[in-house]
Amino acid sequence: MDSLDFLYGIVIVVFFAMIIGVGLYSRKNTKDVSSFVLGGRRVGPWLTAFSFGATYFSAVIFIGYAGKFGWDFGVSALWIGLGNAFIGSLAAWVILGKRCRIMTKTLNTNTMPDFFGKRYDSKALRITAALIIFIFMIPYSASVFNGLSYLFTSALRLDRISNGYEICIVVMSVLAATYVILGGYMSTAINDFIQGMIMIVGICMTIVCVLNHHGGLMSSMTELSKVPAANGSSFQGVYSSLFGPEPLNLLGVVILTSLGTWGLPQMVQKFYSIKDDKSVHTATVISTIFAVIIAGGSYFMGGFGRIFVKPEDIATASGSLNMDKIMPKVLEIAVPEILVAILVVLVLSASMSTLTSLVLTSSSTITLDVLADNVIKKMDEKRKVSIIRLLLAFFVLVSMALAIYSYRSNDMYITKLMSISWGAMAGSFLAPFFYGLFWKGVTKAAVWASFISGVGITVSHLILSNGPLFGHSFKFPTGLPINLASPINAGAFAMLFGLIIVPIVSWISPKLDKKVIDAAFKDMPDDIPARIDDIKA
């Protein structure tokens, strides 16, 4: 072991000790379901804002998305980061934050499926939503594991160890499960704040290193402008241009990764936990600034991948390109070894925060919305918390197994795993959740239509893009301005389709009972009236 290995080991051990310590400290706040899942709805703006941002951005962003989309779009990938900041963070807080906090408190809901069940008076909707979350959270969690382990394998030289990648995933799984099982939501919120500060310092440091490697911003842009377009186009400097080589595909990524947060349960649940309206305003500003730095910085940095990495550097045995290796190679080249420990903790921080939010959301929905009062009758608070903890461990185990499988099969790269998850969940939930907060006219049939279309579009696309289907290989048309085979574009389409289908089905299907609607909207303030009903008139 050399001195650098020793330094890396010390930094990581200190980091692990810190997060476990927070878990032990937060254990006193896990006496009932509300405190374990939502921190008792008493979480302040700084913790909530950082938790929102740290959950939003993980190793999937730093390693998977920044690498792939920086490679595909060049510096125009920065639009993705700006979309994340102003649509995924700012607009989400401004439009959803206050109403979500009030209505979920009025209905006394702890999870998104619980919201659907009470807002639309349907136990079947509640159970279905919980199952969708549990199934499609797994590929998302696996993508986080993958991104984390790729960097660890590269930066810490774990490839020198037999099964180093697998060992890394197992260690991360145990640590993530331990501190969230100990302290629940409050443990994740406090750790997210600490990890968020590390992420800000780490991303700023890394951007400086990446740009300085080629002599600064302008020199780096000049080098990037010399890279020829991958499709053989004669357009010079396409990767340093404003909208890059594929503007429509770029738009699809912006929609999926930005608008998607409006319908993802692990993101929306942050609005449930914040303590008051004043905290919502403060958290809005903090969350947006955090997103500009982290998302904007990550995609901007990823845009320079082509001046560090050649296609043959990331080629697989089959001749395809492993996009998940782009950013680890960039960072290996650009970041001095003495600073790699900070970089590793940066990605570790982002990933741990996202993982814990995913596993907590998934396990709580299955316990509270499927098992309680359905499979297990008369489940008391203590037993509910115990089962949530048990399912936390199970969820981590399944995600870990999928991550190891995808690595060994070299089949499901990070962006594909995440796109499947976001497409199905946000495609199913975004429209009925958004309209349900503002419009009294949303019907039960419309919610079912959104669930069916969101899952249906995602799964159908997954089957078609991974033929053969019934003995016949299906090929999406090529040469179009938009890539129909992309799971990202399929996920973006699923979300937009839901926003169209919900009002159409609502206008032609039986309305909800007036008592159910009035119960949901009774505490809504006059300054944010529900007036979408006027559209019908």
CB atoms within 10 A of CB 98: 22
In sequence order, which residues have a C-beta less than 8 Å from that of residue 172 and are 6 or more positions away? 145, 148, 149, 348, 351, 352, 355
> Can you list the alpha helix ranges (DSSP code H) found in 213-246?
217-225
Contact in structure between 498 and 427 (CB atoms under 8 Å): yes
In sequence order, which residues have a C-beta less than 8 Å from that of residue 432 and are 6 or more positions away? 116, 120, 442, 446, 447, 450, 451, 498, 502
CB atoms within 10 A of CB 441: 19
* 321 DSSP 8-state letter: B
| CA separation for the pair 45, 271 (Å, rounded) | 10
Contact in structure between 26 and 184 (CB atoms under 8 Å): yes
Quick one: pLDDT at residue 439? 93
| CA separation for the pair 62, 135 (Å, rounded) | 24
User: Using alpha carbons only, how large is the chain's radius of gyration in Å?
Assistant: 23
Contact in structure between 47 and 285 (CB atoms under 8 Å): no
Quick one: pLDDT at residue 20? 83
Quick one: pLDDT at residue 167? 74
Contact in structure between 211 and 75 (CB atoms under 8 Å): no
| CA separation for the pair 438, 91 (Å, rounded) | 15
Location of structure tokens 């499988």: 405
Quick one: pLDDT at residue 258? 92
| CA separation for the pair 500, 469 (Å, rounded) | 29
Quick one: pLDDT at residue 533? 43
Residue 473 tokens, joined = 């290989």
> pLDDT tens track of the chain, all 537 residues?
556 666 667 777 787 788 788 878 777 767 677 777 777 677 888 888 888 888 888 767 777 788 889 998 999 999 999 999 999 999 999 999 989 989 998 998 888 999 999 999 999 999 999 999 988 887 777 777 666 666 666 556 655 566 666 777 777 778 877 878 887 878 888 878 887 888 888 888 889 999 999 899 999 999 999 888 876 666 778 888 888 888 888 998 899 889 989 999 888 888 888 877 888 899 999 999 999 999 999 999 999 989 998 888 888 777 777 787 888 888 888 888 777 777 777 777 767 777 777 888 888 888 888 887 777 877 777 888 888 888 888 887 887 777 777 666 655 555 677 778 888 999 999 999 999 999 999 999 999 999 999 999 998 888 887 655 444 556 667 666 777 677 888 888 999 999 999 999 999 999 999 999 999 998 887 544 444 343 333
Nearest to residue 51, comparing CAs of 260, 360, 428, 299? 360
Location of structure tokens 């930066």: 155
**CA distance readout (Å), 153 to 58, 147, 402, 408, 432:** 17, 10, 18, 14, 41
**Domain residue ranges in the chain:** 43-535
Quick one: pLDDT at residue 117? 93
| CA separation for the pair 327, 115 (Å, rounded) | 39
If you write DSSP's letter for every residue of 258-305 in order, what string do you get? IIGGGG-HHHHHHHHHB--HHHHHHHHHHHHHHHIIIIIHHHHHHTTG
In sequence order, which residues have a C-beta less than 8 Å from that of residue 166 and are 6 or more positions away? 404, 407
| CA separation for the pair 322, 334 (Å, rounded) | 20
Quick one: pLDDT at residue 296? 93
Quick one: pLDDT at residue 150? 61
Quick one: pLDDT at residue 40? 67
Quick one: pLDDT at residue 163? 65
Architecture of domain 43-535: Up-down Bundle (1.20)
